[in-house]
Chain A
Amino acid sequence: MTSRTAVVVGGNRTPFVKAGGRFADASAQDLLTSALDGLIARFGLAGQEVGEVVAGAVLKHTRDFNLTREAVLGSALSDHTPACDLQQACGTGLEAVVYTSNKIRLGQMDVGIAGGVDSASDAPLVVTERLRRAMLALSRAKSLPDKLTALSSIRPADLAPVPPAVVEPRTGLSMGESQALTTAKWGVTREEQDELALASHQNLAAAWDEGFFDDLVTPYLKVSRDGILRPETSMEALGKLRTVFGKGDDATMTAGNSTALTDGAALVLVAEEEYAKGRGWPVWAKVVDAQVAAVDYTTGNEGLLMAPARAIPTLLERNGLTLADFDFYEFHEAFASTVLATLKALEERGIGTVDRSKLNVRGSSLAAGHPFAATGGRIVATLAKMLHEHGPGSRGLVSICAAGGQGVVAILEA
């Protein structure tokens, strides 16, 4: 088989807005369809068939079992376009790009669309476990006495819905509480975190002002810019925020240096390199390689979100690269301290130092927000465009941490 290369040729996302805000009434499917239609319009794909659309969501209703296919059917793409739902927590978007790229490399398709969506506003509400079991028993019951028995097991308290929460099942800790342990362990200071948050806001604001996102974002519901972005924020303003995760005087994590619950969708258009060139599509960046890893967070030995520190050395070694061989680094800012702890871990383990002037230079999740499964698509499209503008041979590293102690990292090259 001749060698085939998967390249990112473009992307599209909705603006990202805080959960409960302007997209509160939009479902995950609405958001994904909108992002898809924007991408289709940008590349003139209406009525055309694409190899496959691959996307996912972390917060997902059971009715959305075929979320991506439903979005395709609601979009301007040909109904012959197949779709696949894929999920790896916050790694979903990047994992979708990897899946798509691999299929393209293997010759199973020439062009695919990859990404994800999340609506924390549209999160499923769950009934109590007792109520759920009682209702299932009721549906199985054949006789009236059996039905009455099933119903009688329900207590008034069971009727209240269970509020949604992103909690690790094995530790019972929320993402922020888990990260607070890591923050303390790696001695990440409040000031370091606020500095990273400030840079994220400043970089993202500058990118917007420059028009960098003109061909990466399509407005939705009259929102045309990221809603969480605070261009005017300062160290002083960030310093005034009270801590929300961690305990006592040592707590350093605030709403300013942690990502907010966010609504949004992001997709990238991936194609085989020669196919892309044949269509005149810009070859922004090759998807060179990717690596997944997981940490042993349940024992407390490693931080929940520290898996990228494991994945990166493996990826570098396989590609004969060092950490210094990159022009840009895109480290997903789940929390400022996640990025900082990961950088410290890479340094401590002798993997190398990340040049901070090359880190998240167009802003990242602290400023843009983090609709879980959409983050990968946002990062890949942003980085691919940056690499393309920087010139041939320039290289970027993507690092995304995910729930369950997992991490996905990837190399892109212009």
Chain B
Amino acid sequence: MDLLETLYSTPAGKAIARKAGLSDPPVLRRGRVMPAGPVVLAELGRAGVVRETLGLLGVEPAEPLLDVPDARTKDEKGREQPPRYPEKPGAVIIDATGARRITELEGLRQVLRPIMRGLESSGRVIIVATDASAVDGLEAKAVAQGIDGINRTVGKELRGGATSNLVYLRDAAAAADLASTMSFLLEGRSAYVSGQAWRVGPAERAHDVLANPFEGRIVVVTGAARGIGAAIARTFARDGATVVAVDIPPAGDALAGVANEIAGSALQLDITSADAGERLVQHVARVHGLDARIWAVVHNAGITRDKMLANLDEKRWASVLDVNLAAEMRINDFLLSSDVPGGLAEEARIVGIASTSGVAGNKGQTNYAASKAGIMGLVWAMRDELAGRPITTNAVAPGFIETEMTAAIPFVQREIFRRTNSLGQGGKPTDVAETLAFLCDPASGGVDGQVIRVCGQNLVGA
């Protein structure tokens, strides 16, 4: 800790910081925890899929209050106020799947205005709309995108750790396909995901939403010895997975600690070695039995070798691209083409880690941004490549996450990074982990080819 940070953490320092507008950020609801208040469902026009989804999740929705002239009241100064819920809602879900006309967007305003200052802490706004690819006509397609403008702005205006996210349903997506996303968004697992939109289509295979979705399933996590990787391993283990924790041999002791803590196994492996995929499946077969198959691979291992491009040599360039992108592709290629003991299951999940740097670029990180944007390109392309196989490929793009790595950023800079997002704070490794676990959930088969930012709606690249 430097001097400034030390002063900042004293009570006096905190008081001054508050005066300067740097208030303590809200403590976010995390984990498999539902909102405390009612879950309100508003249905605009033709609807039904969200109500059915909530039914699958065992959630009984409450009726919305609408901001229409008749419902308004006047405050003591005579100003018109939107109707107020008797009990602060924990979440407001808007089924806008029927919205096709610009005038219908007014329906979203009516539902949202009463809760913009009336949601509980870490409340949720969840909008479900029909994807532009599944509607006809220019107006309907414009309206589909228009809804995302509402979503992103609501995310910025909400307070108290509340988030707003948008789910686009592709053609033929049903309630069972939406259920895992809805469960994730309602629960604390999505604490640091806000202002995002992703698409849900029909899954190749249906699975129920369960609290321990990975029971009896093997999940490989690379870079698992510390930081975000260790959090990923722990989160999957919490949800029932047998985790194969992978990291480079020099990180072996920390890796063993993580593996033993969660009763998984450890594999000391340099993922850039040519036979990495082969050694991975051999380990799985040896340690977890010849019948064992990999359910999910979490490609978390990554490195940075930051330099301004003016100072960047070919070595720093190549190592980052090899570890962060090429190694992942080689392992995927091996797993997807080898039906061997310990190999990838017929139905499986592959997830990678992109980055805000890949989305928006970042000074001093040409190599890193190339690798991380590359992951996004890979994810989008693999959806088509694997069409027809019950294997999904997705990625998360973390923003500012509190880790040992980001703790090394100078204090003032770090504090700026932390606060320049809608939630006014950095994320935790577990936030990244939860999102990856959601993407790997057996019930998330309809979520494919998506990149979800876990950034608290960071201003960068939004």
Are the CB atoms of A219 and B289 closer together than 8 Å?
no
In the complex, residue of chain B having the shortest beta-carbon distance to the beta carbon of A10: B286
Nearest CB of B to A78, in Å: 11
Contact B257–A44 (Cβ < 8 Å): no
**Separation in Å of the B9 CB from the closest CB of chain A?**
29
With A279-B289, A280-B290, A282-B286 already in contact, the answer to whether A42 and B266 are too (CB < 8 A) is yes
Q: Known contacts A211-B273, A280-B341: does B250 contact A40 (CB below 8 Å)?
A: no
Are B341 and A219 interface neighbours, CB within 8 A? no
Pairwise interchain contact B287-A224, C-beta atoms closer than 8 A: no
A101 beta carbon closer than 8 Å to chain B: no
Which residues on B sit within 8 Å (CB–CB) of A219? 249-253
Complex alpha-carbon distance, A40 and B253, angstroms: 12
* Beta-carbon contact of A43 and B265 below 8 Å: yes
For window 229-260 of B, CB contacts with A under 8 Å fall at 242, 245, 249-253, 255-257, 259-260
Q: Which B residues touch A218, using CB under 8 A?
A: 252-253, 256, 266, 268
Q: Within the assembled complex, what's the spacing in Å between the Cα atoms of A214 and B268?
A: 6
Considering the complex, give the chain B residue whose CB is closest to the CB of A225: B250
Is A148 in contact with chain B by the CB < 8 A criterion?
no
Q: Which single member of A40, A217, A282 contacts B260 (CB below 8 Å)?
A: A40
Contact A38 B256 (CB under 8 A): yes
Contact A34–B253 (Cβ < 8 Å): yes
Question: CB of B263 within 8 A of chain A?
Answer: yes
Contact in complex: A215, B268 (CB < 8 Å):
yes
**What CA separation (Å) do A63 and B357 show in the bound complex?**
55
> What's the least CB distance linking B373 to chain A, in Å?
31
Q: Taking the nearest CB of chain A, how far is it from the CB of B238, in angstroms?
A: 15
Indicate if B264 sits at the interface (CB-CB under 8 A): yes
Partner of B253, one of A213, A220, A282: A220
In the complex, whether A126 has a CB less than 8 A from a CB of chain B is no
A residues within 8 A CB of B249? 211, 213-214, 217, 219, 224
B297 at the interface (CB under 8 A from A): no
For the complex, what is the distance from the CA of A41 to the CA of B255, rounded to whole Å? 8
User: Distance (Å) between the CB of B251 and the closest chain A CB?
Assistant: 7
A220 to B264, CA, bound (A): 20
**B residues less than 8 Å from A38 (CB atoms):** 252-253, 256, 266
Tell me, yes or no, whether A76 is within 8 Å of chain B by CB: yes
Residues from chain A with a CB closer than 8 A to the CB of B330 are none
Q: Which residue of B lies closest to A281 (CB)?
A: B286
Q: Is the CB of A280 within 8 A of B252?
A: no
Interface size on A, residues (CB 8 A): 26
Roughly how many angstroms separate A37 CA and B258 CA in the complex, as a whole number?
11
The residues of A that contact B263 with a CB separation of less than 8 Å are: 44, 46-47, 76
A37 touches B268 (CB 8 A): no
In this complex, which of A37, A44, A76, A213 has the most chain B Cβ atoms within 10 angstroms of its Cβ?
A: A44
Does the CB pair A44–B264 fall under 8 Å? yes
> Are the C-beta atoms of A44 and B268 separated by less than 8 Å?
no
Residues of B within 8 A of A280 (CB): 285-290, 292, 341
Cβ B253 vs Cβ A214 within 8 A: no
Complex contact B270–A224 (CB within 8 A) = no
Chain B residues within an 8 Å CB radius of A75: 260
Q: Name the residue among A34, A76, A221 with the largest chain B CB count within 10 angstroms.
A: A76
Distance from A183 Cβ to chain B, minimum over Cβ atoms (Å): 37
Most chain A CB inside 10 Å of its own CB: which residue of B268, B273, B288, B292: B268
- CA of A78 to CA of B275 in the docked complex: distance in angstroms? 34
Chain B stretch 262-303: residues in CB contact (< 8 A) with chain A: 262-270, 273, 285-290, 292
A44 touches B256 (CB 8 A): no
B286 & A217 in contact (Cβ 8 Å cutoff):
no
Q: Is there an interface contact between B286 and A41, defined as CB atoms closer than 8 Å?
A: no
Smallest CB–CB gap between B147 and chain A, Å?
A: 47
Cα A214 to Cα B283 with chains together (Å)? 12
Contact of A41 among B242, B266, B269 (CB under 8 A): B266
| A224 nearest CB neighbor, chain B only | B250
> Which residue of B has the minimal Cβ distance to A77?
B260
- How many angstroms between the C-alpha atoms of A99 and B444 in the bound complex? 51
Q: Is the CB of B286 within 8 A of A37?
A: no
Could you tell me if B268 and A46 are in contact, using CB atoms closer than 8 angstroms? no
Whole-angstrom CA separation of A109 from B24 in the bound complex = 59
Residues of B within 8 A of A41 (CB): 245, 255-257, 259-260, 264-266
B275 to chain A, nearest CB (A): 10
Check A214–B260 contact: CB distance below 8 A: no
CB-contact partner of A46 in B252, B259, B269, B341, under 8 A = B259
Interface of chain A residues 195 through 213 with chain B (CB within 8 A)? 211, 213
Asked whether A44 and B288 contact (CB < 8 A) given A37-B260, A218-B268, the answer is: yes
Q: Given the known A-B contacts A219-B251, A280-B287, are A37 and B264 also in contact in the complex, defined by CB atoms under 8 Å?
A: no
- For A42, the chain B residues whose CB sits under 8 A away are 256, 265-268, 287
- CB atoms of B253 and A76 under 8 A apart: no
How far, in Å, is B279 (CB) from chain A's closest CB? 9
Say whether, besides A37-B256, A41-B260, A214 and B269 are in contact (CB < 8 Å). Answer: yes
For B66-110 the 0/1 string (1 means CB < 8 A from A) is 000000000000000000000000000000000000000000000
A46-B233 Cα distance, complex, nearest whole Å: 15
Nearest B residue to A9 via CB reads B286
In Å, the complex CA distance between A254 and B290 comes to 50
User: What residues on A are CB-neighbors of B287 within 8 Å?
Assistant: 42-44, 280-281
Within 8 A of B (CB), among A1-55: 34, 37-38, 40-44, 46-47
Q: A40-B260, A41-B265 are in contact. Are A217 and B252 (CB under 8 A)?
A: yes
Which residues on the A side are within 8 Å of B242 (C-beta)?
A: 44
Q: Which B residue sits closest to A220, measured CB to CB? A: B253
* Given A44-B265, A44-B287, A211-B273, A76:B260 Cβ within 8 A: yes
Docked pose: A281 CA to B292 CA in angstroms? 13
**What residues of B have a CB within 8 angstroms of the CB of A213 in the complex?**
249
| Least CB separation from B250: chain A residue | A224
**Which residues of A sit under 8 angstroms from B270, Cβ to Cβ?**
211, 214
Q: Which residues of A contact B269 (CB under 8 A)?
A: 214
Q: Do residues B341 and A44 form an inter-chain contact, with CB atoms below 8 A?
A: no
The contact string, 1 if C-beta is below 8 Å from chain A, for chain B 186-230, is 000000000000000000000000000000000000000000000
Identify the closest chain B residue to A276 (Cβ): B286
A344 to B349, CA, bound (A): 61
Q: Do A37 and B289 have beta carbons less than 8 Å apart? A: no
Q: Say how far A324's CB is from chain B's closest CB, in angstroms.
A: 33
Which residues of chain A are within 8 angstroms of B250 by Cβ–Cβ distance?
Answer: 219, 224
Across the two chains, which residue of chain B brings its CB closest to A12? B256
Assembled-state Cα–Cα distance A75/B259 (Å): 12
A220 CB to nearest chain B CB (Å): 6
Give A48-102 interface residues, CB cut-off 8 Å to B. 75-76
Q: Which residue of A lies closest to B264 (CB)?
A: A44
Measuring CB to CB, which residues of chain B are less than 8 angstroms from any residue of chain A? 242, 245, 249-253, 255-257, 259-270, 273, 285-290, 292, 341
9 contacts between A and B (CB under 8 A): A42-B287, A44-B264, A44-B288, A46-B260, A76-B263, A217-B252, A218-B268, A219-B252, A221-B253
Instruction: A44-B263, A211-B273, A214-B269 given; name 6 further pairs at CB < 8 Å.
Output: A38-B253, A42-B256, A46-B259, A75-B260, A280-B292, A281-B287
> Lowest 6 A-B CB distances belong to which pairs?
A44-B265, A76-B260, A41-B256, A41-B266, A41-B259, A224-B250
